[in-house]
Structure 1
Amino acid sequence: MTRFGHAMQKIDERIPGIDLPLMSVSQTRGVIRRSELTDAPQRAESLDAYKVCRRNDIVFNKMSIRAGAMGVAAEDGLVTYHYEVMRPRPGTDSHFICYLMKSSWFTEELIKRERGIGAGDQANVRTTEVPFSVLKTIDAFIPPFREQRAIVDYLDREIARIDMLIEEQQCLIKLLRERRTAVIAHATSNGAQVELRRVIQALRQGWSPNCESWPADGVSEWGVLKVGCANTGRFDPAENKRLPDDETPRPEFAVRRGELVMSRSNTKDLVGAAAVVDGDYPRLLLSDLTYGISLTTDADPSFVAYALASPSVRVQISAASKGMSHSMQKISQRDIRELVVQLPVIDEQRRLANQLDEQTAKISQLIEETERFIELARERRAALITAAVTGQIDVREVA
């Protein structure tokens, strides 16, 4: 049993004028050059106050250590005050300590200590600073250096295999999504070109009061829709926030069966996402960031929702949306009315919509199954790390 502070030492080295690359910590890639994550310019005019990290030092983000934001530096660099820098003492391997810090055992030790500073719950994981002064009080079983290296070699090999599987499955998901887009593009490429205004019967915007953080059922409880309710192209009534009991509901904003719900504000990729309300939710209200669109009898809502998700219309939405940042784009009612879609006759729209429902459902199922496989692989990776660093696996027998 070794006190963590006896195995690692905090480093707070600052050398004004030193010419080193600016580093960042990624949850998936560890300590890497900031330029590999973003092409944005450095915010600070001077880097004199930045901390120096040396090759083989451990760097972690004090605000998101529990999320796995840590790694071993492969080169010398500079990091901001958000990061802590630790250096191994003699007899301690940095890579072993990094794996130890990613184990569930270590996370539990952090949670115990975070409660002491008022932040033991998961909701505050991103707002709680965990400095080295907290880590150094943890008592851990740290084996001799040779065994540390054996564990690191074993985990490096096994984690690489799992990561390769995950990467392959992520590529499969990308291909499946491309296939879904191609299917939609083909099915919505025929018919007369029509401005959406010609088939819009009503276009309304909702209301955004202060709500609870949990959802309502929309039938017996009042709820206000979040923009994510249409993200996938399928209406998700659970994407809402419950209206407080002391807030007077506004029934005129309730969604209607057969109506298109569209996000007015979202990321560049999701602004304008639309889905058809496929049920009765008399107490589920449109928010200020969502539109409710009722169509004329010349347009099938399901087909129009698919058309709005087609590449040709997404290009129009992307060009029309405006905002100060990529993460918050908005599209106006006028721009929506000016979108051009291709509409065949109504019977053909319905036939194509039914065909797309069947085809996209199969693809979506495959995507869900693949995502579940990735989730299980990540759980396996986390369990393997914990088992290896806590001695549950004798790596000498599985080498």
Structure 2
Amino acid sequence: MTMKQLPEGWQMVKFGDIAKHISKRVEPSETELEVYVGLEHLDPDSLKIKRHGVPSDVAGQKLLVKKGQIIFGKRRAYQRKVAVADWDCICSAHAMVLEANPKTVLPEFLPVFMQSGYFMERAIAISEGSLSPTIKWKVLEQQKFSLPPLELQSKLIARLSKIENTYDLSCQVENAARSLYKALLFATFEKSSETKKLKSYIRNISSGKSISAASIPADVNEFGVLKVSAVNNGSFNPGENKLVKGDKISLLKNHVMANDLLMSRANTAELVGDVCIVDKTSTKLFLPDKLWKIEPINEHYKLWLFHLLRFLKLNGTLASLSSGTSGSMKNISQKKLLEIDVGDSEKAQEIGEVLQSAFLCVESSSMRVKAILELYKEVLQKSFANVGE
């Protein structure tokens, strides 16, 4: 892109003219700092560091970071990890520590710019290596980017800050809704007297089949088999499926229908035992062998059973029943599941409806958080839509 093609006031600059590379190394065992930030602690598309470790967690030289400096994941840049440090700390050597050159760019604007697809696409393109593609500073500093004038930088920061504030408030609402729902779950089920086996409330448990399928999801009019990731944290995601074609279609088993209660009987240690109720589905989606369809003895028990199973997952009961070596998929046997001691189901329908109302509050607040995040990304994307190469 030539200077004549740039919007009025914009200019082409080298990244090395707007950012300084800070490379001060430190031994974790010798530092008095209390915070270690690894790439695993950074969330994609978020400038905030929401979790961290401590220096004693790691060995080998790390990078020194001052409060306000930028931590950018130079390894596997496609993960889009860039954040601003809230404290003096040390970070992974697989990151770059950067700070803005205030003579050429507003300090608050640089991390926002680095979040943009305009910057990230270039960062990915210049990464070197196949297994763990990595960015070299000597290459990055020479990259030229179109930058808006300071006035526009300030306006964009102000607009994104308002969206970010709304996002933070919405996250607080979501967390409060989750806490309330969890408290209701435990208040309902934790102190109930164990009088019956879980099998007393279940008529049938069935699964699907493991089918050789494409890696892409099925369209509306195509056949698909669900992935275990279709059941996640109480919610159903029909888009998490694999396309099944040709003679493999006849092998599909156990059609997924709206209002089905599904459970992940084999998954990672964190996700095994997760359940959901299907709210909407294609007419051509089927279960794999690792997902169960659980049918209650009476439809009035369905919501109660759904939330009971969520409680049994949250309190660790389902994890304690699972088998499998460390680091592998965990499995829950149907026999062990059915033999779990549970409380009486008196007023099951009313209890299920109350818990479902609380759960739907969590779902709606979560959707709002996602929508605000998408708005943030959309505003950022449009800001550089006319200057990308």
After TM superposition, is the score higher than 0.5? yes
If the length of structure 1 is used for normalisation, what is the TM-score?
0.67
| Distance in 2 between residues matched to 1:378 and 1:70, nearest whole Å | 15
Equivalent position to 2:52, from 28, 37, 55: 37
Query: Is 1:207 matched with 2:206?
Result: no
Larger Rg: 1
* Partner residue, 1:320: 321
* Partner residue, 1:342: 343
* Partner residue, 1:271: 272
| Distance in 2 between residues matched to 1:234 and 1:298, nearest whole Å | 19
Aligned-pair CA distance for 1:29: 5.2
Query: Is 1:5 matched with 2:16?
Result: yes
Structure 1 letter corresponding to 2:167: I
* Partner residue, 2:142: 136
* Partner residue, 1:226: 227
Conserved in 2, the CA contact under 8 Å of 1:192 and 1:343? yes
* Partner residue, 2:5: none
Query: Is 1:108 matched with 2:110?
Result: no
Conserved in 2, the CA contact under 8 Å of 1:31 and 1:72? yes
| Distance in 1 between residues matched to 2:281 and 2:108, nearest whole Å | 55
Worse overlay, 207-216 or 183-192: 183-192
Conserved in 2, the CA contact under 8 Å of 1:72 and 1:98? no
* Partner residue, 1:64: 77
Conserved in 2, the CA contact under 8 Å of 1:262 and 1:272? yes
Conserved in 2, the CA contact under 8 Å of 1:225 and 1:284? yes
Structure 2 letter corresponding to 1:285: F
Conserved in 2, the CA contact under 8 Å of 1:259 and 1:295? no
Aligned-pair CA distance for 1:61: 0.9
* Partner residue, 1:83: 95
Provide, for residues 106-144 of structure 1, a one-character-per-residue CA deviation record: whole Å limited to 9, x for no partner.
x3255257557799xxxx9x975443314522144486x
The residue matched to 1:247 in structure 2 has which SS? Answer: helix
Q: How does 1:169-180 map to 2 (within 5 A)?
A: 169-180=170-181
Conserved in 2, the CA contact under 8 Å of 1:87 and 1:94? no
* Partner residue, 2:111: 99
Aligned-pair CA distance for 1:381: 7.6
Aligned-pair CA distance for 1:263: 0.7
Alpha-carbon RMSD: 4.9
* Partner residue, 1:310: 311
Conserved in 1, the CA contact under 8 Å of 2:267 and 2:330? yes
Provide, for residues 166-187 of structure 1, a one-character-per-residue CA deviation record: whole Å limited to 9, x for no partner.
3332121122223334555666
**CA 1:93–1:58: 2 relative to 1, 3 Å:** farther
| Distance in 1 between residues matched to 2:233 and 2:96, nearest whole Å | 39
The residue matched to 1:136 in structure 2 has which SS? Answer: coil
Conserved in 2, the CA contact under 8 Å of 1:71 and 1:98? no
The residue matched to 2:218 in structure 1 has which SS? Answer: coil
| Distance in 2 between residues matched to 1:270 and 1:205, nearest whole Å | 17
| Distance in 1 between residues matched to 2:215 and 2:79, nearest whole Å | 23
Conserved in 1, the CA contact under 8 Å of 2:70 and 2:82? no
Q: How many pairs does the alignment contain?
A: 364
Conserved in 1, the CA contact under 8 Å of 2:261 and 2:275? yes
| Distance in 1 between residues matched to 2:37 and 2:363, nearest whole Å | 40
Conserved in 1, the CA contact under 8 Å of 2:24 and 2:64? yes
Q: How does 1:16-27 map to 2 (within 5 A)?
A: 19-20=30-31, 23-24=37-38, 26-27=42-43
| Distance in 1 between residues matched to 2:126 and 2:313, nearest whole Å | 55
Conserved in 2, the CA contact under 8 Å of 1:4 and 1:140? no
The residue matched to 2:288 in structure 1 has which SS? Answer: coil
Conserved in 2, the CA contact under 8 Å of 1:57 and 1:94? no
The residue matched to 1:317 in structure 2 has which SS? Answer: helix
| Distance in 1 between residues matched to 2:350 and 2:287, nearest whole Å | 29
Structure 2 letter corresponding to 1:193: T
Structure 1 letter corresponding to 2:80: A
| Distance in 2 between residues matched to 1:320 and 1:101, nearest whole Å | 48
* Partner residue, 1:216: 218
The residue matched to 2:272 in structure 1 has which SS? Answer: coil
| Distance in 1 between residues matched to 2:303 and 2:29, nearest whole Å | 60
| Distance in 2 between residues matched to 1:74 and 1:94, nearest whole Å | 20
Q: How does 1:352-367 map to 2 (within 5 A)?
A: 352-353=351-352, 357=356, 359-360=357-358, 363-364=361-362, 366-367=364-365
Identity %: 19
Provide, for residues 144-166 of structure 1, a one-character-per-residue CA deviation record: whole Å limited to 9, x for no partner.
xxx69x967x8888766654443
